[in-house]
């Protein structure tokens, strides 16, 4: 117990005990403060916007969007040029820009500094799983992610992965070269930090400019099991510096806990984590130290059914939402049930999803929707971006994939 108290506050520890031992509350008592029982849950408006069409010879994947404030404001979507057959066939990073809130987009163009590069040792390195986000203090877009490393251009070597990032100056719309974050060799438990990356992770920027960046890593060269942490970083305009990290989260099965995504809602921080068999959630007061994680559940005690796929956050209209895919939606024909893309309101105190508020952000169309991003436009609007996956199989075999966009608003 003394060790636990050293890593999390007494309040956080008590919250963890209460959450793990509490009985399920009836749906009526939960919804009393979240929706009008006479009219039902308050629905958000979802508008499907024009997609970006993929290429004949390759797909656009890992597509995510950043909002750049200004007059006019801009949306910039980055995406990986990816081979159609197989997984992790990542090449160059492209971008496309909208100046009319996603109604039209510029022709996708390669980012010269983020092209797949052959190194002196024969490995080819590609930026991957990037998530671009506006950094208010530096007035730049910072895209964080990972490196993919291919021996002789083909065999992927996961142990060479690093936390990667690049930044874009909106005045010139030019990107820096790909950089990597220097991390300590061991974690707080004394275990090795191997193959760290921040791929597909939703970060949070503090008002002072510091960045809370989710990262996952391996502790063993022979065991492919991840631990996830939230690091505190400082960006000086050119370099992202590691300052420290908090509690370390994993489970003793499969690939552990990975692809962590973070958000701040009111005065607390919320972290969702992917697992092979399920999905997990936890909460923090300071943004780095968290109560023990628990599996995602609906408010009636039912399993959400989200597994082996990332989840991300959204705040719209003063309410917190989780975005995810799941089983049980007449989607057994979809790879890992990765479509439709759902969102559902979160009870931030009980850390459960309010089942009756579940809506569809992107409908199922015989493609997987497992790699997406969310960006906040303002307190009442968010923008969802997703590159379709696996259209080379099934009913859409031979078709071009699409980068889908939707605006969700109160």
- What does the mean pLDDT of the chain come to? 91
pLDDT digits (tens, 9 = 90+) for 188-211: 999 999 999 999 999 999 999 999
d(CA 341, CA 376): 17
Q: What pLDDT, on the 0 to 100 scale, is given for residue 5?
A: 38
pLDDT digits (tens, 9 = 90+) for 229-262: 999 999 999 999 999 999 999 999 999 999 999 9
- The label of the residue with tokens 């050119």 reads 238
Look at the pTM and tell me if it is higher than 0.75: yes
pLDDT digits (tens, 9 = 90+) for 264-319: 999 999 999 999 999 999 999 999 999 999 999 999 999 999 999 999 999 999 99
Q: Which domains does the chain have, with CATH numbers?
A: 2-409 (2.120.10.10)
Give the C-alpha distances (Å, rounded to integers) separating 332 from 304, 328, 336, 360, 368. 15, 8, 8, 17, 11
Binned at pLDDT 50, 70 and 90, residue 6 comes out as very low
pLDDT digits (tens, 9 = 90+) for 157-181: 999 999 999 999 999 999 999 999 9
**Which of 1-5, 78-82, 103-107, 321-325 shows the lowest per-residue confidence on average (mean pLDDT)?**
1-5
């Amino acid at each position: 117990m003394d060790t636990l108290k050293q890593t999390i506050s007494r309040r956080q520890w008590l919250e963890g005990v209460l959450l793990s031992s509490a009985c399920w509350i009836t749906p009526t008592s939960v919804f009393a403060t979240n929706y009008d029982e006479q009219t039902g849950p308050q629905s958000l408006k979802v508008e499907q916007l024009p997609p970006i069409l993929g290429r004949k010879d390759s797909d656009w994947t890992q597509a995510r969007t950043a909002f750049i404030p200004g007059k006019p404001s801009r949306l910039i979507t980055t995406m990986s040029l990816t081979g159609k057959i197989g997984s992790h066939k990542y090449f160059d990073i492209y971008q496309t820009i909208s100046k009319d809130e996603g109604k039209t987009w510029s022709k996708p163009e390669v980012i010269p500094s983020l092209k797949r590069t052959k190194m002196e040792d024969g490995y080819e390195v590609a930026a991957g799983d990037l998530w671009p986000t506006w950094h208010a203090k530096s007035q730049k877009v910072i895209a964080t992610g990972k490196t993919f490393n291919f021996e002789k251009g083909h065999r992927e070597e996961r142990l060479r992965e690093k936390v990667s990032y690049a930044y874009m100056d909106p005045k010139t719309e030019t990107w820096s070269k790909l950089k990597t974050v220097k991390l300590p060799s061991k974690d707080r438990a004394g275990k090795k930090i191997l193959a760290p990356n921040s791929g597909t992770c939703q970060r949070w920027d503090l008002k002072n400019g510091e960045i809370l960046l989710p990262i996952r890593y391996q502790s063993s060269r022979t065991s492919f099991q991840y631990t996830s942490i939230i690091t505190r970083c400082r960006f000086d305009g050119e370099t992202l510096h590691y300052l420290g990290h908090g509690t370390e989260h994993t489970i003793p099965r499969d690939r552990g806990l990975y692809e962590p995504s973070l958000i701040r809602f009111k005065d607390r921080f919320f972290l969702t984590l992917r697992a092979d068999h399920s999905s997990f959630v936890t909460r923090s007061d300071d943004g780095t130290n968290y109560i023990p994680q628990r599996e995602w559940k609906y408010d009636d005690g039912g399993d959400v059914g989200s597994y082996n796929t990332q989840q991300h956050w959204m705040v719209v209209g003063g309410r917190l939402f989780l975005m995810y895919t799941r089983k049980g939606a007449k989607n057994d024909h979809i790879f890992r049930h990765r479509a439709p893309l759902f969102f559902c309101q979160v009870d931030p105190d009980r850390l459960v999803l309010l089942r009756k508020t579940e809506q569809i952000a992107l409908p199922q169309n015989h493609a997987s929707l497992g790699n997406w991003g969310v960006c906040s436009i303002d307190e009442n609007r968010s923008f969802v971006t997703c590159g379709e996956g696996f259209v080379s199989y099934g009913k859409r075999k031979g078709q071009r994939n699409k980068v889908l966009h939707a605006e969700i608003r109160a």
